[in-house]
Structure 1
Amino acid sequence: MHEPSSSEPIAPPQMSSGHRGQRPLWHLLALNIALLAVLVSAVWLTLWFLRRSEAPRPAPSAGDFLAAQALTIGTVAPEFTLPQLDGGQISLGQLRGRPVLVNFWATWCAPCRSEMPALQRVAAQYAGSGLVVIGINQLEDEATVQEFVREFGLTFPIALDRDGVTSRTWRVYGIPQTYLVDRDGTIRKAWVGPVTEQSVTRALDELGIRPAPS
């Protein structure tokens, strides 16, 4: 076997080209994975903070929908002429010059039953101030309505919307629903759902209508 002499240069060990490129490729791949993880984390944290800072938005309720369908405050109240429970007719036009509280109801409606005592008290307290409370019953027969009136001792006028036309004209798609009409026939307040004595008297007070001294 030939042995190199001391005068012959010794060549450095040779490495294959594949071995030279293997380590930089893994380094580059690991770096890209690390950068991607940082980017995903940053995006996730940003979205989390944005969602956390947003105020919760409740879903619209059925009451919100019905309120949106009600007649607009400040518009002229639609005219109606309806038969009364006790005979004769009643129309909104004949009451021009007086404030009118128009309440749509039915005997089967539990919230309607709960608000009737408050409506009766308001009708009695403000009768001397010119206020007229009208209860418009929806689509029920006279005997059923009469029994309800006796049960609650109602003394204000009860009108009968036998075909539902007046309710549709007044955009009543759920009951109870109540409107306060001023002396000029303009709608000043609308309630979707049962009223309370306090809510009605507050609305009347805003119009300058107060109970007459006893």
Structure 2
Amino acid sequence: MDSVCIGKEGKKVSVKKKRRLLMRTVILIVLFAAVGFTLYASLTKDKSPIVVGEKAPDFVLTDLEGNKHQLSDYKGKGVFINFWGTWCEPCKVEMPHINTQYNEYKSQGVEVLAVNMGEPTLLINNFLDKYDFTFPVLEDKSKDVAGLYNIYKLPATIIVDSDGVIVDIVEGQLPEGRIKAMMEQIKPE
């Protein structure tokens, strides 16, 4: 004989029916969660990862002085885009080397855009007070540009030639000799 429970309306409900209803509810919840996750993942994933040999995605960011920098405005110049953070030890090592090479190559048509990923302006300024960098430092507060370029590890460098085509993508600290070679590679003819 089935065990009997009293339901909300005061009616008798068998324990088997109650268990079946609970199992169906759990299955429906899991199914809806899976569908929701799949939709979320497909809508938020980057549809077109950047690739060497393709046009660099355009972006506009503001530097610490309030000037806007749009990548497409640098057409005709080589652009060395470096993503960094104040907490990143390898960034602290490579940034002075980037500045040294920038000072050598800027008159030859090479620009550096140092993109800070989402840190407060005060923190960035405190970091920069320790150095005398001459290249523009841009703020990617929402990390949209980092997402556009699939940057998740710092430091990361993207070099773009004078036609706006990605020439190289490098994650990790760059030694000064490699920085020099990269700038030489994107120097306009």
The answer to whether TM tops 0.5 is yes
Q: Tell me the residue number matched to 1:104.
A: 83
- Which stretch shows the higher mean deviation, 142-151 or 69-78? 69-78
**RMSD of aligned alpha carbons:** 1.8
> In structure 2, the residue corresponding to 1:100 is in which secondary structure?
strand
Matched ranges for 1:122-201 at <5 A:
122-201=101-180
Q: Tell me the residue number matched to 2:45.
A: none
The reply to whether residue 72 of structure 1 matches residue 54 of structure 2 is: no
d(CA) in 1 for partners of 2:144, 2:92: 23
Unaligned stretches of 5+ residues in structure 1: 1-68
Unaligned stretches of 5+ residues in structure 2: 1-47
Using a 3 Å threshold, how does the CA distance of structure 1 residues 130 and 108 change in structure 2: closer, same or farther? same
d(CA) in 1 for partners of 2:187, 2:84: 27
Shift of 1:190: 1.4
The reply to whether residue 121 of structure 1 matches residue 121 of structure 2 is: no
Shift of 1:155: 1.1
d(CA) in 1 for partners of 2:131, 2:49: 27
> In structure 1, the residue corresponding to 2:129 is in which secondary structure?
helix
Could you list the per-position Cα deviations for residues 74-97 of structure 1 after superposition, in whole angstroms to 9, with x for gaps in the alignment?
011111101111112111011111
- Is the contact made by 1:100 and 1:182 (CA closer than 8 Å) also made in structure 2? yes
Aligned length: 142
Q: Which has the higher strand share?
A: 2
d(CA) in 2 for partners of 1:191, 1:70: 14
Could you list the per-position Cα deviations for residues 86-133 of structure 1 after superposition, in whole angstroms to 9, with x for gaps in the alignment?
112111011111100000000001111111111110110101101100
Shift of 1:174: 0.6
AA partner of residue 149 (structure 1): L
Q: TM-score, normalised by structure 1?
A: 0.63
- Is the contact made by 1:70 and 1:190 (CA closer than 8 Å) also made in structure 2? no
| Equivalent residue in structure 1 for 2:66, among 82, 87, 93 | 87
Rg larger in 1 or in 2?
1
Identity of aligned residues (%): 29
Shift of 1:209: 5.5
Q: TM-score, normalised by structure 2?
A: 0.71
Using a 3 Å threshold, how does the CA distance of structure 1 residues 137 and 178 change in structure 2: closer, same or farther? same
Using a 3 Å threshold, how does the CA distance of structure 1 residues 208 and 139 change in structure 2: closer, same or farther? closer
> In structure 1, the residue corresponding to 2:52 is in which secondary structure?
coil
- Is the contact made by 1:106 and 1:138 (CA closer than 8 Å) also made in structure 2? yes
